[in-house]
Amino acid sequence: MHFCLGQEAAPAALSPLLQAADHIVSHYRSHGYYLAKGAPLPEMIAEFHGKTTGSNGGTAGSMELGHDDSHFFSGAIVGGPVGIAMGMAFAMKYRNAPGIAISVIGDGALDEGVSHEALNLAALHAVPLLTICENNLYAAHTPEAMRTMSRSLIERVRPIGMPAEKLDGTDIVKLHLRLKEIVSEIRRGAGPRFIEIETYRYCGHVGPENDDWLGYRTAEEIAAWRKRDPIPLLRGQARELGISEEALLNVEAAIETEISAAFDAARRDDFPGFGRGPVERSSRTVRSCARSARDRTRPSPGSVISSGDGSRAR
Ligand SMILES: Cc1ncc(C[n+]2csc(CCOP(=O)(O)OP(=O)(O)O)c2C)c(N)n1
Ligand SMILES: [Mg+2]
């Protein structure tokens, strides 16, 4: 599981700007964006546990997390989200359908050809696509300096002909206000935009543990970014606006209760198994495909088909 602890600002800032018709295609560090799109928390937690009540029936897990009704999708293929979201944005424009498409990628995705091809087409066709690139300084354990001569993600995107800008991923309020302008420009038909978010992940590339012992980053670097944590900063801004400590604690307690209830329910729910849930559904699908394949190969009256052993059958 790829945690986004430390990287909460962008999905939090984006969430209030999203509409039902919008579609998000995210990379695997997607939990914040799933919630930002309004997909239900209990189904996400159940999905993590591999349970039938999960958003994908327990078959996708964290890495391929999706919620069809919320138009939220994610996947493991680095760079993949840009191509898929570009297709969605193209379809929206072609069909004059409401909504915008949002692709969420990491900095490593700009090292993949598909990102550049898809961004190029998005710019050419002026489709309603917002690409959010979360630059957390590393692709797994490899820093940018070991992957490219370029030291700027947005300078790699601009020659494509797409406006690109870099935003601070620690101040949720500032980020929200700028994203609000950008999203409304895209909704007005101004074409696609690329946003690089400066951010940092606290946990290892995969899993909840600290990984400074691997040697690709230092404990000091992690500590320095923790001092810029977006959540305490937001708390401070809320206090400055006159929101009481008690009100903030009440919000936190309500969220804790919601999360605990989701975990309790997920632990009680069933694993998919034969005769239950999606496995039953998929075996039904396999059976019906096999039936229709058989029906297709059945000779229609008067036709001649091969019997499979080289002889002819009528
Ligand atoms: C097409 C493809 N190539 C390689 C990988 C292996 N891989 C998994 S995660 C990862 C690093 C991606 O880093 P980044 O895009 O910066 O996202 P982050 O994990 O930092 O959020 C790589 C190379 C993959 N999943 N897909
Ligand atoms: Mg990265």
CATH number at residue 220: 3.40.50.970
Closest CA to 208 of 44, 62, 21: 62
What tokens were used for 182?
A: 């950008």
Give the pLDDT confidence score for residue 59 in this predicted structure: 94
Atom of ligand 1 nearest to the CA of 4: 21
In a domain, 98, yes or no: yes
In a domain, 130, yes or no: yes
Segment 68-90, tens digit of pLDDT:
999 999 999 999 999 999 999 99
Amino acid 130 reads: L
Atom of ligand 1 nearest to the CA of 134: 21
In a domain, 252, yes or no: no
Q: What's the gap in Å between 15 CA and the centre of ligand 1?
A: 24
Mean per-residue pLDDT of the chain: 90
Give the pLDDT confidence score for residue 137 in this predicted structure: 98
| Pocket of ligand 1 contains residue 4 by CB under 6 Å | no
Hey, whose CA ends up nearest to atom 6 of ligand 1? 78
In a domain, 308, yes or no: no
**Contact assessment for residue 135 and residue 107, using Cβ atoms and an 8 Å cutoff:** yes
Give the pLDDT confidence score for residue 6 in this predicted structure: 98
Closest CA to 71 of 8, 130, 115, 24: 24
Hey, whose CA ends up nearest to atom 5 of ligand 1? 78
Helix ranges (H only) for the chain are: 9-14, 31-36, 41-48, 80-94, 113-125, 153-157, 172-187, 219-226, 230-240, 245-268, 277-297
Instruction: Assign 238 to helix, strand or coil.
Output: helix
In a domain, 144, yes or no: yes
Domain tally for the chain?
A: 1
In a domain, 82, yes or no: yes
Give the pLDDT confidence score for residue 303 in this predicted structure: 40
What tokens were used for 130?
A: 């917002």
Give the pLDDT confidence score for residue 278 in this predicted structure: 52
Give the pLDDT confidence score for residue 299 in this predicted structure: 43
CA 157, CA 123: separation in Å to the nearest integer? 10
Q: What's the gap in Å between 241 CA and the centre of ligand 1?
A: 39
Give the pLDDT confidence score for residue 314 in this predicted structure: 32
User: Rounded to 5 degrees, what angle do the CA atoms 194, 96, 90 make?
Assistant: 40
Give the pLDDT confidence score for residue 274 in this predicted structure: 54
DSSP lists the bridge partners of residue 204 as: none
**Contact assessment for residue 23 and residue 102, using Cβ atoms and an 8 Å cutoff:** yes
In a domain, 194, yes or no: yes
| Pocket of ligand 1 contains residue 195 by CB under 6 Å | no
* Biggest alpha carbon–alpha carbon distance for the chain: 87
DSSP secondary structure code for residue 218 in this structure: -
Atom of ligand 1 nearest to the CA of 79: 1
In a domain, 89, yes or no: yes
Report the predicted TM-score, pTM, of the whole model to 2 decimal places: 0.88
Question: Which residue range(s) make up the domain with 127?
Answer: 9-30+75-243
**Contact assessment for residue 11 and residue 176, using Cβ atoms and an 8 Å cutoff:** no
Segment 153-191, tens digit of pLDDT:
999 999 999 999 999 999 999 999 999 999 999 999 999
Q: Please report, for the chain, how many H helices and E strands are present, in that order.
A: 11, 10
Mean pLDDT of successive 10-residue stretches along the chain, which has 314 residues: 97 98 98 98 98 96 98 98 98 98 98 98 98 98 96 97 98 98 98 98 95 94 97 96 97 98 96 61 45 46 38 36
